[in-house]
Structure 1
Amino acid sequence: MTATIDFYSQEARKPMLSDPEDTDLVVGKDFLGYTPLNHPRGECVADVIAVTGLAGHAFGSWRHEDGKMWLRDLLPQDLPAVRVMIYGYSAQVQGATQATSILEDHAETFRQRLLSFRRFEPKRPLILIVSPFDPRVGEI
């Protein structure tokens, strides 16, 4: 299960756990790897994975100015039997040569993690949503 928390203050905050020894709970803001955004009702009939473009943020790139994150807040209402996830990676690159190498590494990591992640349900339909380069660099 995954929970996301929205902070509406401009004040910088560091997420803290009430029990720092609790290793079953991970708190982060980077969303690296696969992050489920909902828990499907009943049998899961498909997986939706959203991958942000270069210079984007796995969560922030899909968020509207009004704070709604359509993949989390709207899509599961319309498709309650679908599991919605985002895939995060270090999307910052510099220089064309470096970018090509980094993209190949990211693609291979994505593929390996996807194969591992879906090994128990390899025939379940998969819908990939990919955003282009995100000009809102740094926004979360």
Structure 2
Amino acid sequence: MTRYDARRSGARAARTGWNGSRGIVVFGIVRPCTHRLSEGLRTEWMAHLCGLCLALRADHGQFARIVTNYDGLIVSVLTEAQTGTTPAGRRTAGPCPLRAMRTAPVAKGEGARLAAAVSLVLASAKVRDHVADRDGLLARRPV
């Protein structure tokens, strides 16, 4: 994928890789086709999304929840697909404003914690990219 293709698709491409090498890192390319998801798959997807958000809060604090994204979420989905779904892998979360104050089953465990770490790393790379590109909120130095 070229930088032009990434920008055209609405994704965000970085100049350098996570280790400083030249390359392309694309942010925001993973999106669910919500109109194609069955009710069961939609519930599973939301369980992983809410599990990621709650894992970020539990491991890294309330403010870390702002880095919840679909790119990190896919790690939780793939981890659970490899280990298998068990009743111990879910818990019922309390009411949340983003779920219209309803409770919901959410993913828990190592997949959600790994996804939380990936989301934080991606957020760090995105901030570095904005600094390097001098765009976004970091376009100019604060006064």
Note whether the superposition's TM-score is higher than 0.5. no
Q: Which has the higher helix share?
A: 2
Does 1 or 2 have the higher relative contact order (CA < 8 Å, sep 6+)? 1
Q: When the two structures are superposed, what TM-score results if normalisation uses the length of structure 2?
A: 0.30
Q: When the two structures are superposed, what TM-score results if normalisation uses the length of structure 1?
A: 0.31
